[in-house]
C-alpha cells in the first residue's frame, strides 16, 4: 500500500473512532507509513520529539495503545525487543511469520482458523491473530556462515 494511502487509512480509523485529527496524530500515521518494520514506543517517541519537542513519552505510548485497540496498528511482543507496533494490514486477512533475529515479517494467507477447531464450552470466536516466530532464510544463511 502506498505511503499516502496508509496515512489516509490510519487517519480515517482515528476519525471514525471520534478522534480529532491533529498535526501530531497525522505525523504519527506518517511515521508508521514510512516504516517497513516494527517500531518500539521509544522509536516512535524519538521521531515524534524531533517535530514536537514538548511531546511526552506517556502521550505517545497511550496513543499507540489506543491506535492498536482501534485496529490502526498491530502490536507484537518480541522476546528480546519487547512490545513493538506497525501499521495494520487491513486490505485482506492474513497472518505473519516473524524472524526473532532481525524482526523481518512475512505475510501468509493460510489461516488455521478456517479449519474445524474442537473448542471447549461452545466458545464463539470473534477475532484472532496468528503469528509464527522463527528464523528467516537470510538470518539462517548468516548463522551458517558464522559457524
Cell matching residue 8 = 489516509
> Cβ(85)–Cβ(73) under 8 Å?
yes
Does the annotation place 111 within a ligand binding site?
Answer: no
Beta pairing, strands 73-78 & 82-87 = antiparallel
Does the annotation place 99 within a ligand binding site?
Answer: yes
Does the annotation place 92 within a ligand binding site?
Answer: no
Does the annotation place 128 within a ligand binding site?
Answer: yes
> Cβ(96)–Cβ(104) under 8 Å?
no
Does the annotation place 51 within a ligand binding site?
Answer: no
Annotated binding site: 93, 99, 102, 114, 128, 136, 139
Annotated binding site for Fe cation: 93, 114, 128
Amino acid at each position: 500500500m502506498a505511503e499516502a494511502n496508509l496515512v489516509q487509512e490510519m487517519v480515517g480509523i482515528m476519525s471514525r473512532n471520534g478522534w480529532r485529527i491533529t498535526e501530531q496524530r497525522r505525523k504519527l500515521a506518517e511515521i508508521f507509513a514510512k516504516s517497513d518494520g516494527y517500531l518500539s514506543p521509544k522509536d516512535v517517541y524519538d521521531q515524534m520529539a524531533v517535530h514536537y519537542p514538548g511531546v511526552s513519552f506517556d502521550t505517545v505510548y497511550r496513543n499507540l495503545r489506543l491506535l492498536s485497540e482501534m485496529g490502526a496498528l498491530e502490536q507484537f511482543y518480541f522476546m528480546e525487543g519487547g512490545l513493538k507496533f506497525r501499521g495494520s494490514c487491513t486490505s485482506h486477512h492474513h497472518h505473519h511469520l516473524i524472524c526473532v533475529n532481525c524482526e523481518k515479517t512475512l505475510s501468509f494467507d493460510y489461516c488455521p482458523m478456517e479449519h474445524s477447531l474442537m473448542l471447549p464450552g461452545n466458545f464463539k470466536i470473534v477475532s484472532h491473530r496468528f503469528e509464527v516466530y522463527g528464523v528467516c532464510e537470510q538470518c539462517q544463511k548468516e548463522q551458517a556462515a558464522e559457524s
